[in-house]
Every structure is written in structure tokens, then in C-alpha cells.
Structure 1
């Protein structure tokens, strides 16, 4: 029986509901700005933004016959300042009520900010302070905003709850497809919060309430309860957090210890802490920040003792429906924030205004995040994308733009949810075809007309490329314009002249790029379009000397990457670089993403858009680059299957007999005597494999090794940058960023010496070319719909593609010796799939990290059983190379049990890595293992441990220097006696 189709009317109705709720959700800042705008209009003041009108106070004044108020302030610095919008929120001081006649003497409204130094008739706004004070009494903004909140929740409360449930299900599906939630996890959280699921989703199902079991709890830290976090507690103590608005909404913590550490990570840095605390009320945020040092000390101290009593002290179960609780909790938080931030007329003479009395609401910062920025993450807004930084002014324009962006994001999620026909299996969903589009469009148009609410946001811009195909030309210093652009405003309207300064000179157009002025001209191309280009001021009309520029998504000018002129001109050289002869470029393979699609697939190639990679999802747009990509990926998959089904392996070269203590030179010479290449198989977190290659790269080059073939690097997105780096020695920034991300994600060498980034640099230094042997189709398998039991698709697709690229490289550049680095499930036969060593007549060495004094050197590989995933249902499998090389490294302990053995005595220490964090683990005087976070201020490393006064708080240029300081104070690196 065919699956029922999604209800187009339900989908359209929900999208209309979402647009209405988002657009009408109140904001304290927006409401105050509207009141301020109305005040300006009342006094016949037009064309001014209330966010750019300032009320300044001074401690002195001079009379002036020219000033509207009769007073001016020359060479003066305001004692306090706020915008008119902020003044609506905070109102005047209680002492001003009885001294209103002095407001014009010691204060005034101006268009100039507090740094202007002179405030007179030239920058004043014609308002009397005592008139504005009286207006505030008649407006009673506190009561006005309270009425807006009541109206919103009375009208949209049930719709808000429906959208909260919809968002929860969307985020759960996305987490399931990203493998952040297993199938069992997904079933547990949806069953607990929603009840039995039926597909396709319907509006009545989202509107239905479901009583929660006792397993659904709130989250609290040291007594501070989150207002919109759901915590799902599984029978064995496993906990799953749902944090609406986070980029990853679901987090699975295996134990109370893991949850404690996870919270420490969220509280450890300002950016992470700000995002995390957005889930708490304004009052709690202020209390937490005011007592941050004490709270962090207690959290760290209790974590070091495995005491988790500060976490979930209340351990409160959610009663009733989870989404009713989310809605009610959000409503309560919004009213509480308004009450904390505002003072009514009735309270005015009872206390000083909160902005001047309380250290909790300082300098008006938190006002920007009261209202919809707190509410809308519950229904699908991204906390990060809303820009909740309290130091950041939020004016009416940016608030409107953010709401438009939120509408687009929420509607996209609704599209995804209603396009799913049935949940098939982990990572596999069946989606609807385009047959519902017409009905949906008609329903949507009808509903939009009824609610009268704008539905769309701005069209998404094409993503900034992950890796540029070619470097950006360097603009010569002599091309800087002898032009001062201060006081001139660039064109802001979208179109050809956006961002351009129009000058009364020749040349008549200029831009500001990297704080430097350049003359530009508009150059049309043969297709009828064109671009702006920086020109040489000495030759403004020359047609061979210009550098194309463009506005990037951040609104900043940048040089456009280009390979050269269409007529055959040479590409611009990068300044300050040595160069090599250009390499013969390999032709694009049939599995590479075609050039016209690359700009649309950059995020997917970087792993930033897993949803669009899923086979069972389609945007239903007429043009969808991901749809074309998935055709390429499926073709590679079937071609790889066909290849391995008929494979006849070539004759293998002999595995040389080597002494256990053979030198690197002996290993390389004997292997390459008969083999075409040497394949290093590794666990990607390993240090020894990269260390061996880096330390022996010069030796490899001396043995005529010309190429280093690397997994993780993509031919269609990284190779051009790799080739440019090899030629010029200047690594494109985005290639460096990608390699650093590989190192962070795989937690490689904490001392940053033996990493993917340093490996690529050392290869170039020794004249060995790095060639990618992955492509987007072989690497980004997220969401690919595979037959049950097919556990080796990645191995087959990558190995097959690597074989093609190695042979193409050998053909284009001449047969030569090579070395490769890849995971140990690719280097040799794994689970019945031939590895690159077997396919390409090479010898594979599996490299293992081992503790000092335990290396067996090099020997025939006995193999090792390794787990292939992070859940109880993941399988284990044997990895085995032709040879195994064990390399001693300092950082072989990973679990606390291993650290117990590694650090038997007081004063011994080692390093422990977690994603994005490194800790010192040491044995204390009380015989406990204590962990201390190594922090960084950008380039320097430090720790905060007052008990170690000789190092606490001091900055060190490298991790190694910090560890040396520990050694100097008498501590000892556990398990390692050699110099680092």
C-alpha cells in the first residue's frame, strides 16, 4: 500500500503560522525604538534614527544664544550618554523629576556621540529634556510593553507551542541523520516528548499534547534552572540534552561525569558561555556572570573530585506536555525580563532606576536581548546567527533583517519535515516528490493574503568558497589612492554602485579595502555583466593593469581570485614568495564536481550542510546543485561496486625482511626497491605516523619520492590551492584553515609539531607534491541511502577513486616513487575490501603510537581489532598492514584509568585532549588526579592555578614553553624521559 502524501494545506498553514508568530513576537528594543521615533515625529524632527540620537549629561555648561536650549558644551566629555531608544527604556533619574528645568542646562539631545568633544547648535536635536520627561510619564512604556507581551501570548501562545514541537522534531531528525542521535536515541526522545510518531507529519499531530514520562527533566547548574532546555534521562544514566537554537541542538552524554565536563566546556570561554547562558533567564545570567569566578572554581573543583552535586540539584521532572512547558517557561522568562529591565510609573519614586542602581543591568547592554531574541530559538531561530552579543547595538534595521532571516530558516525546516514520507532506518528517510507543490503554493498564497505578513527573507547568497581555485592577486602598494574618504559615504543601495565612493575627481569612483582607498573602474565582459577593478592611479585608462574586486557576504571589498587573462596573460604572482615551475594540472575526473556547481556546494564539501547531502531530501527547487552532486556520488558508488566485483589484483611486490630496529633509510630503501609506493596507514588521531613522515621527508625526497598522496583532501575543492602552495610557497588561508580544522577535529599533536598542516608544509619544503586522493563524492557520504549491511561503502569508494588519481598522476607527471597517508582501513585489505597497497603494488605500514620503552620497532603486522564507531551497536573489525611500525610518543594515555597508571607519584603530569580543549592532568599532594585547562589568549598559552604562583596566569609563546615551566618548578612529565 503506498504511503499517504503530506497534506499541502497543513504545510502551508504551518508556514503562515510561523511567519506570523516570528513577525509579531515583541522585542523591548523594537518597542522602545518605535516610541522614540514617534517622539521625534511629534516634535517635527524628521530623518533621524533614534538609535543615532544621544542624550548626554555634562558637569558644566556655557550659555549660548544660538543653541535651541540656550546652552552649549565646548571641549566637554559627557558624564553619561545613552541613545533616545535607551532613554525610553531607562527613563530619567528620579532626581530629574524635581529638577526638570536643569535637564537643558546640564544635558541635551545631540546627533554626535560621546566622543565629539563639542556639543552646540551644529549637532543638537531640538528637544527639551523636560518635555521628553513629561512624555515618558504619559506613555508609561513599561505598561505599554507589558500590554504587547500579553497581546502576543494571548493571541499566539498555542501557535508558539505548535512551532516549538515542530522545531524539536526537525532538530531530532537532523541529529539522527548526522549520527548525533542513534536510532535508539531518536526513538527515546521522540517517544518521551511526542509519543508515537506517524508519517507523514500533519498539523493536528503537532498541535496534540502528550504527557511526559518522568524521564523528561529540566537542567540546572548550582541552582540556576535553564528556561528552555529539555533533559532526557535514560535508565542506565545516559542523558540527552535538547538545546533549541544551538547549531547542534542535541547532545548525548554517557554519564554524569560527561555532563559535568560538557558544562565546563560551555562555561570556559566567553563565546561558548554567552550561547549557553542564552538558555537561562536574564536575572540568572546576571547572577552567573557576577559570580562567575566562584562558580567556575566550584565546578572545576568538584569535577576534579568526581563530585557532580552542583549539576541538576533540583532534578525537576517536566510535568504535562513538554512543549507546553517550553512555551510557558518562555512566556514567564519574557515577562520576568521585562519586569527586571523596566520600572513603571508607580515604582518611579520608590527606587532609583534600575540602570543606575543595579550592577546587574550595566550600560544598557542586556536590553538588546530582551524579548524575541530569547523566545524565537525555541521555535527554530539560531542563537549564533541572531547575534546576541550584549556589546553589539541592535537597531531597527538589523532587527528586521534578523527576523526575515529567521522566517526563512524556520520555513526551510518546515519544508524538510513535511517532505518526509516515512522514516525507514538510521540515516534514511523517504521524501515526497514535487507533486504537492502546486497545491501547497495555492494554499500558501491564500493564507499569506489572509494574515498579511511578509513571508520571505532575503535570498541566500552563494557561500564563500571553502578553498579558492586560485590565489587572490596582491595589489601593489603604489596603487593606493591619494584620496581621503573621511566624511564621504559609499552608495548603500543594492546594485552596480553598492559600496562605491562617488568622487568629484578623475577617476571618479573609489573603494575602501582593508582600510586603504583605491581607485576603481567598472569593466564589462562579453556576457553583458561585469565587475569593479582596482586600477593603477598612474595609468587609470590602461586596459592591461587592473585587479578585479568584489563585495563579499560581509559587505567588505576583496580581490577576486583569477587564473589570468582570457587572452593568455600570466597570473599575478603572490608577494614575498619563492616559486617553482608550475605542475602539469591533472584533468578533472568524472567524479569531480563540475566547475559551475562548486560555488553552490562549498558548504557541503566542508561538511557544513549535511541535510542537503541526504539522498532522501530534495529542496524541490528547479535548480539544486546538491541534486546533481548526489547523482555523481551515486555513480561513483555503483562504479566502485562494479570495479570490486570483477577485481583481479596485480601481483604484489615482496614484503622485505627487516630487523626490528631497522633505520628509516633501510625501511624506505628496501620497500621502494621493488614496490611502486609506500602507504602509511594510521588512526587519524595518531602522532607517530605524521611524525615519521615529517622527520623523514628529506630522506624520502632523496630516494626520488615525488608525490605524497593524502586522504581527506579533495581533488575538486582543495587541489588547486595545494598546487598553488607548491608553486609559490604561500599557503592560501582557506587551505590552512581546513588543515587546522582536520587537526582540531582529529585531536592530533597538542604541541602542534606533527599535524596534517605541518605535514603538508614539510612536503612542500622538500619538493614533494601533495596530491589529493579524495573528492567530495568519495568523502561526503553523510545521508547516503545504502543497502542494509553495506558497511564498506566508504572504503570501496575512496580506494577506487584513490587508485584512479594515483594512476592519473603517474601518467601526467611521469612514473615516479610515491608515499601515501590514509586511514588504516584504506591502506591494506579491510573487511574483504582491497586496500590501496594491494591495488597499486605498494607496501603498507600500519603505524601505532606506543608508550616510551614499549616499541617493538618494525615487524610483520599481527593486526589489531579496533571499534568502528561510538555506540554499543557499532561493530569492531580487524585492521592489518603488511608491516607494523610502533613509534613512541608522550601522549598515549587517554582514559582516566590509563592516567592512574601513568602518574603514580605526586608532581607527575601529562596532557589529555578533548575536542577543542587540552588539559594538564597531574597527581596532587592528596593523591588525586586533578585536571587543569590550558587556555589561550589567541597566540599565547596559560593556565589559571593559584597554587602554582610561578606559572599561574603567565603567558607562554608555545605549549612546549608552558610545559618547560612546569618542569622548572619541579614537576615531571609522566611516562616520558626524553626532551620534548
Structure 2
């Protein structure tokens, strides 16, 4: 097969229709929590209580009460925590107790509405919400929320039943292809999966294909999964004639599991049930009643699972062996509908039910069954059509990962649309043949991937409306691909290709040099030889990629390339590899991310200026007087950003702030992160750039952030127009480009960060990469290089905060665009203290993006107060732009470090006795400072040559000029000669 044959392109109209269907299904799928929240909000307005979130209005019950004429109800509750608490949203769902109807007057005596949660122990006029329980009780009877929600549920399934099934089939197919591409399904398994539930399949996929119902393929059974008689509502088992099983578990990161024997199935089941977190996620695939019964009897069930495993007895698993007859996706749709209705039956209480029994969930156990809030409604159904259980955060402790309904649904829509994009951009078969008919040859049928670069629909918008990623106003995203990735200099092949002839035959090896060596294939690109290998895509041949000659077998270390129509090789971003479309052509240059980015054609000449090496040329008073001046063009961009940012800050429309959490002073990093991200969209770490604790906090907790579904680290100092390509390349390939490493090293040297080089900007980026957290720049050259920018004399005060306004405004644009492009997700950011929260009247990123700001400062050993509400700090040195500036975030975290003493007076006080020493950073220099025998303070430069460190002090014998591989090793040498690091008792490594 060659790339010149006619191909049928994916149907763009089908893709657009399916995306529209997906959006409507997600937006209209009812959520019990969201419906209750809307009703509770309306109820507050009706009763004259405005501007309060019903999720933060609590009805507490107490055992005692004291009279207080200053309160709305006449009662207060002091030094007593409530024995039972519900938010108003929860109260709408669960209703008051049946007995409260006859004792409504006691609702204000032994209970009340408050803005403080159940952790508080004083409830009086300072935190009460002016509502009478009897009035709310009366309104509940008039509303009958149970019937209202059931009607909404019925209407959804009446209107969207067929669409839901279509999306379920599309999600299954997309996940199957992803599993094949990741090696989780072999070619044979992939074929079995399609044969079992989809049947004959032609490429490209069409909307009609997804709408068509099919029966199971011959020789294969499609069944439900059950454990101890409890049948999962959305897990499929594909069983062949030999008893081999392939599981489809929608909503999971790895949707397909191949299990060779019943023993393998039993072992997999133990893995899901033994760990509490895994069990919690796994049980979301079962109806609510089954979840409750399993949890109530978990000890007995686990004992039986383990004991039967030891005996080779697997009767507890798939004992019902329920066969899915007819179309599998119709079964999934019907099961989802039944599960949602059953959960509503179990959770809701109608007016009639209320007189007969206490509402479900409390009985005598308080909140034991439901936890803070049962997650009922759209999350139960949407994993079937592509939503991620992990990203939705379905568990007893956390309702949904996302503060607002719009944000949650934006995340789900992003995931579903991404799957649709992948499905309609697949490599396709020659002609329009059937994949099912291809059998085991399917792996060879897809001959060549076509790489097509598509510009995003629009640039980042400059809207200045209310913040928050609501679906109706979220900005279109960043470009879905980057610039062509650079090839590291040390990747050049050790081959002379002169005299050799590349393959000229059209096909897979066109343009390839075939060598009698290992590696055996190479290309010539830009007059330089590179080794290459062929990398498969989905279930067949894919593309050539340049490899690192020092590590040729590493998958991560490769850079995709393609042959243009002119016969020239060029690199291609991995996320620019798109199946379908015409034969490869020379790609168009990628667009700018926004109107504030330096245009591509100017970047080469402005690179030095972007790195801070040409300050004079960036001054507004300087002009080369040349007809063409890239610096003049840059200054026009910078001025436009300044004007737009200033206009935005004249009347900024800011969203409501998330509540600042109450944390114990000794809270560890995981507790801080978990608590902050429960209500906030993001966590903003504010720092003084030279300090270490902020970077230490991020590096030490990066894995925790990743586990908490933080997907992106937004960073100041990194420029979208000069660094994002390298950052994306690093994220995709795990190889840091030399240009990025050089910039980060320079940034660390200029900011005088950790002298031990452990907690630096460079190491923050590396730690994020290692944990799978993507790094996104939130500066651009125009927001960062303000040297010599002039403003009108009437704007002198404005000029002092120009940097804050320009960077904050631009960061807001980037974050919103990125959240739209990647799907709404949790994030963390690292930036200066003056950007994190409001500074001199300029709203910070935390205020603009519904985040919580934590200012982290370095302190000496033994002096940390842990985490507390930030009291603020006055800066007297003018580093931020005035002789006296005050920085303040939501919270303050003090981190103990060895180098808290920075000024010479502080260091002199620290070095209390002869032989004590510390380190002092200066711009691009590091000094050892010690107190000598004559009690004087002596500074000695720490030199570096070839990555090895030493000091020159002839009087110190063997330490003089001795080379050490690291600063800690050098300091250890000082300790061995009897000196002592002052102010620090812990190991440095």
C-alpha cells in the first residue's frame, strides 16, 4: 500500500454533530446535587437571604441551648459542637425528620441555620443565618423536591436515550483504540473486542455506524460482571470460547483488562477491593443499594474473597454470569437509566414517604451512610459515555472534583469531546474496507499515518467579563500543537551518509538510508545525519522518529519526523500526529497563542532580548531609526498589553472567593493540598523568588498534587512565546532541551536560589515532569521584559504596579485558555508574592481564578509556626516596586531551611563561635562565610570547574583546592575537619 492511493476522509459533519450531541447530553443530564443546589439558592432568595451559597449554609442540631436576645432565633449554642449537620443543599434532598412536623417550634431551639460548619463550637449572632426552621420546613412541603427531580430524570431519558447510547458506543471504540495504541490490547484482543460488540466496522467511523445496533459476534459472549451476587451496572465482560475474558470498565484510566483465567479475574478483583481508595472507585460501577450492602459487609466479603482465593475457589465472582443479550450499548444505556432511577428512589423522600418513615441515610447513624453528600445523578451515568471517574472524584469524602456545576460539566465535556476527536482522526484502512474482515492482518492494513496540523479556531480572547470557566464564556484554547520540536545537538548520528543513497521507492522506506550498522536506519535532515526508527500507531505502522544514539531503545526519547512533498525531512510535535487527511505536506507555521505573543518571524532576532540580554534595546526612548525594527514591533505589543491590562483593572469583574480553609498549624503538605483543593479550583504558591521553601514544598509534594488530579503547574518567569515549545517537548519526550535548561539555570543563578541546587526553578520543572504534571508558562516577553517602558506622568502610581497588572492579566488569559483546551482541571501555580493575591489594590491570580493563595516564607530551624492565616508582611527594600510594600495571601506557610540568614548582620549573629559557618548567595556567586579563630567573619568564594566544587584556602590543608562532586560533599569535608554548619542540625542530603 502506498500513500498515493485515494482515501476516504473522516466525515467532518458527523464529527460536529456528535460533538453537539455530547455537549447537550452532558449539559442536560440531571444531577441530584445541582438540582437541589438551584432550589436551595432560590429558597434563600425567597426568604430574604441573598449572596449565600447553600453549600455553605448549615442546619445544625444540638443537645442544649442558651437564650440570647441578640440572635435571630433567641437561642445560642456555645462550647458545643453539633451532633448532626446538613448543608441546605443536602437538607433539600433528605428533608427534615418526620417528627419535626409536629415539633416545628423546636427547630429553632435545638437547631438553627449557620454559616459556620460543624467544626466550630460557638454558634450565635456572629455566624447565624436569619432563617426559621419552621419556615423552611413549610416551603419543603410546598416544593416536594422528590417529584420535581424524578420528573426531570424522566424527561432526560425521554429526550436523550438514543443519543446516550450513541455516545456510549463512540466512547467504547475510542477507548479500545487507545488501549491498542498503549499496548494494553493486542491486535487479536482488539479484533475480539470489536467483533463482540461492534461487528463489521468500516473506516473512517461514521455517525450512522455509532447509531447502528449489533448483536454479539460468533464464538464470543458479552456478560455483566458481578461480585457476591452484586451486578455492576456498566462493566462488560467479553468471554471467548476458551474462557478468556476482556473487561471493559468505563471511566477508568485503563478501560480494558485482559484476564486469561478465572484465577486472574479473582486476583484482579482482590486488587480492586483490598485497597480502600481502589474499592471506593470500583464500587461506583454498582448501584447505590449494592454499594451500601457491600460496604456494610466489607469485612466478611474480603475474608471470603481471600480464603476462596487460597483454595482456588472462584464462585464469588461472576456467579450470576448475566448474559448481555442484544446490543451491548443498549444494555449499558438501560442499566444507567435504571441505576439513576434506583438511586433516586433510595435517596429521595416524597411528602407521602415522610409521614411513614425517617428519611433514608440517617436512621440512627447520622451521616454514616451518605457521608457529606451522596453523589447521585449525572456522575453515575456519564462514565459510560467517556467521563473519567478519577477526574470526577467520585467518593464518599469528595462530591465532585470541581466547585461549580458548570466547571464539573466542562471537565466532562472536555473528556468526551477529546475522545470524539481521537475517534474521527484515526488512521483508516485502504479504501473503505471492513476492519472486522481484516482479521489478524488488521495490524498491517493501516499503512501510513498522515500528519496534519490544524490551527485552533481562535486565539485567546480578551473578554473582561466575570471570571470562571463557565461553558458559555470560557475562552477557546491554546494551540493543540506546538512548534516543531528541536533536536538536541548530541543526537547527530556518527555516520557519514555522503555517497550513500536513500530509498526512493514510494512507501514506508522512502527517504530512508538503510545501513549495515545498529541502528540500521537514518535520515538526512538540514544537512545533518540522524538515526531513526519506525514507531507504530494504534495497531499498525505509524511514523519515523529520530532517536538518541546513546539510548536508541528508549521509547520516550524520540522525536517524530515526516517527509514533505519536497522530499525534505522535518520534525513534528507528537500531538500534531493526526490520522486522516491528505498526504503529508509542508506544515504551516503554528499560530501565536495570543495577540500579546511575539510573532514567529521576530522570535529569532528577539531571543537574546527575551533572555534579558538586551535591555537597552527594549527601552521606549531607544529607537534604531531603521525602517524595519523588531524591537519597535515588540514595544508596540508590550504597550498594547499594558493598556488592555490597565483597562481590565479599571473595573475588574471578580468571581466569588472559595472559603479559606481552617488548618491545624502542624498540617502536612498532603493535608494542606487536599483541604485547599476541596473548594478551590487551584492553589497559588506565592514566594520571594530567592527563597527555597516554596520550591521545596512543590518538589516534595509533586506526587501528592498529581494524585489529587492536579494536571498543570502554571509558572511565572516562563514565557509562552519563547519557552512553551521546549516545555511541551520536555513533557512529551522526557528530554529537557538544552535551551530550556540553560534558561532555568540562569534564572536560578540570577534569583540566587538554593545553593545546594536541590530546590530550584530547574528542579521544580523536573519534578513536575517526573510526576506527570504539565508545566505551562503564564508570562510572555511583553509581560516580563518591562525595562524602560514609559507611561504618562499621570499614571505614575499605575506604573508602580504595571508588572503586576500585566502579568496577572496575561496569566488569567492563559489559564482560562488552557483550561478550555485541556478540560477544566485542578491546578497549582508558582509566582511572586505580589501576584498571588491582591497587592496594592491589584487583584491577584487567586482572586481572579477562584484559587487559594499560600505565601511560603523561609525561616530558621525551630522557628516555624506551620500554616496559619497570613498576617501579611511589609517589605522595606523596595524590590517589588516601592520603598514600602505589603504582601499578603490567604494563608502563610513557614518552611525551615538552613540558609534563612541572608544579610551580613544576620549571618554575624548566626555565627556565634569560631569554626561555625554558613553559605551566602550573591548574584552568580556563592560564598562560604565562617567565624575564624580570631573571631572575625571571613568570606571565601566556592569555585566551580567542570561541575566540581572547591575552595582555595592554603591554611586549610587538604581542603585547599580539593574537588568535590557537590556542595553537600564539600560541606561534609568541612564538618570532618571540625567545623560546624550554624543554625541547622538535620542532614543536608
Instruction: Give TM-score scaled by structure 1 length.
Output: 0.49
Instruction: Give TM-score scaled by structure 2 length.
Output: 0.49
